Structures are given as C-alpha cells and as structure tokens.
A and B are shown apart, each in its own frame.
Chain A
Amino acid sequence: MFLMTNVRTNAEWLHDLSASGKLQETAIADLRDLLLRAALYFFNRNLDDFGGLNRDEILQRAEDCAQDALIAVMNHLQDFRGDSKFTTWAYKFAINIALMAARRERWKGVSLDEFSFSNEGAFFEWMLQDKSDGIAPDQSALQNEVRETVQDVIENDLTDKQRRVLLMMVFNDVPMDEVVRHFGANRNAIYKLLHDARRKLKSGLQARGFDVGETLALFSSQG
C-alpha cells in the first residue's frame, strides 16, 4: 500500500491533489495515510506524553492529527516550491501538529503560572544551588560572578514578559506551544521574546567583561 503511494512524483502529487473526481479522491486518501504515518511515527517516539491514554485513544489522536494536517497541506499546496520531495514537505505539517498534540496531552491540567516567577520553581532553586562543589576557589568565584550577572539581568533588565517566558521555557522546560497557548500568542512572538532576552543577557555579560571564550571555558572545563 505504502509503496504504491510513494511512486508519485512531485508534479503528480500536485496534479492529482488538484484534480477532481476519483483521481483526487485517491490522492487525498494516499496523502492522509502518509500524514497518519508521520503522526504515528512522532507519537511512537513520544509515548511518555500520553501516559494517561489507552491505545485506542492514542490512535484516535493520531487520526485527528492526520486529518488536521491534511487540511493544512491542502490549504498550502500553492506554497510548495518543489525544493524537497513533496512527501517531506507534507510530513512537516503532520509532525508539527503531532508535537503540539503530544505536549498538550502531557501538560493538560498543569497551571503554568507557578513556573513564571523568579521566587518559585527551578529558577529559585538554581539561585540557591551550591555553586562551588569541588572546583578551585578562584574559578568558583568567577563562575559565581557569571551566574550573578545572569541573575541580575534576568531580574532587572528583562521586561516582565521576557522574564516569565524565559523562566518557563529555559528553567522549567515548559514546551513552546504550551507557552504560546498560555499567553494566547504564536511561536514567532514567543521566540522573539526569548531572542530579545538572549540579546540582553549577551550584552549584559559582555558589558561586565565576560567575553565568550573565557566564560564558556569557565563552565565547560569540568566534568
């Protein structure tokens, strides 16, 4: 079955999907199978996300993803530039939707607020960590300076939203799409907040004389 669908060229995919009647029906059914395969492929490698679901429910989630991906692919057919195999281009829609579904399942019911304040969660623990275990005192002092600089920029130079997004994603491993959902934003906006936060951290470190090589050597030199 799969081998049959795989023999279409890019031009044939576009032609058949844009055709009418039986030709289009068959192409859409084949495409849907491919997208379901991509969603299942992702789910298989992320089964931990579906702890609370049984097999039938997981398979149904995959079917839903395939259906959503099919609609997305059909809506974006005119964007396909032919710079990859058509199937590779189509798979990315299914994988994107599958990733969001998997993370939603894992994080549903979790309130994200507690991860976004500097006096709670992993950032607070990080600030309190013993930073000097088993390394030379002068190196330890320099490391502490870097960490204090990072902490200072996070607490004083970032906007409230930049800080909250950074604490959620970098310190508490909240997935991108859950943060997007929490703020009613999109990936681009969240990425931009993190990007701006990184720029401030970078210039904050450089302004205090921590150049790149020296600082990285300070932290990566230990096992």
Chain B
Amino acid sequence: MNRERFDVWLRNIYKTQEEEISCTECFDLVSHFVELEISGENAVAKMPLLKQHLDQCGACREEYQMLLALARFENEGGAPTLDELKDSIR
C-alpha cells in the first residue's frame, strides 16, 4: 500500500462511527440518494449515514457511481442506446 492509499485508509479509520448502516440498507436507500442528487438537492445533508457507508464501502460506492452516471445520462437524454452499447463491446 503506497502513501497515498495509506493516507486515504487512515482517514477512513478516523471517520469510523460506532454505528454504521449495512450494505443492504445502503442498497435500499441508494436510488433515493441518486434521485436527490440529480434533482440538485443536498443528498449528503439529507442522508449522511448513506454517504458515510459509501465512503467506507468500495463495492457499494462503485455501484452508486455507476447508478448515478446512468441515471444522470438518462435524465439529460444522452444515455447510449442498447445497440450502441453492444457495438462498443470490442
């Protein structure tokens, strides 16, 4: 683990809370969080526990980032079509 990653990990250790929500709770809430973000609301202030989980859990964070990107694309009308996506697989 290089310095940069160790630094990030140390930060996460210090941000550890006594109670944190589970991955299941995160999955349940994340679509609402994404919806708030897309509509320009302060999702982090409204759902701090979810944000805390996303900061700590790489798998949930990766899914969240992908969901946000896809939902945002769609909201703006720029999402790739099924055929475009198939064509871009090598």
Residues of A whose CB lies within 8 Å of any CB of B are 1-2, 6, 33, 36-38, 40-45, 47, 54-55, 58-59, 79, 81, 83-85, 87-89, 91-92, 95-96, 99, 122, 126, 146-147, 169-171, 175-177, 186-188, 191-192, 194-195, 198-199, 201-202, 205, 212, 215-216, 219-220, 222
Contact = CB atoms under 8 A, between A and B. Distances in A.
A212 B59 CA distance: 26
A205 B59 CA distance: 26
Interface residues of B, dominant DSSP: helix
Contacts of A54: 90
Contact of A88 (B31, B57, B85): B31
A126 B1 contact: yes
A37 B88 CA distance: 12
- By Cβ-Cβ distance, the 4 closest A-B pairs, closest first, are A176-B59, A84-B35, A187-B23, A40-B85
Contacts of A215: 10, 14
Contacts of B30: 92
B23 A188 contact: yes
Interface in B39-86: 56-60, 62-63, 66-67, 69-71, 74, 79-82, 85-86
Given A6-B74, A219-B6, A40 B86 contact: yes
A89 B60 CA distance: 15
Contacts of B70: 38, 41, 91, 95
Given A1-B82, A43-B89, A58-B89, A219 B22 contact: no
A206 to B, nearest CB: 9
Given A91-B67, A146-B10, 16 more contacts: A41-B69, A41-B80, A84-B34, A88-B31, A88-B35, A91-B70, A92-B67, A95-B67, A170-B1, A176-B59, A177-B59, A191-B23, A194-B56, A195-B16, A202-B13, A219-B7
A38 B82 CA distance: 9
B89 A47 contact: yes
Contacts of B24: 187-188
Contacts of A219: 3, 6-7, 10
A38 B58 CA distance: 19
Given A83-B35, A95-B66, A176-B57, A216 B16 contact: no
25 contacts: A2-B79, A33-B82, A36-B82, A37-B81, A37-B82, A41-B70, A41-B85, A44-B85, A45-B66, A58-B90, A83-B31, A88-B71, A92-B67, A170-B1, A175-B59, A188-B22, A191-B56, A191-B57, A195-B16, A198-B12, A198-B16, A202-B13, A202-B14, A205-B14, A222-B3
B90 A47 contact: yes
Given A91-B70, A195-B16, A84 B59 contact: no
Contact of A55 (B12, B69, B82, B90): B90
Nearest to B16: A198
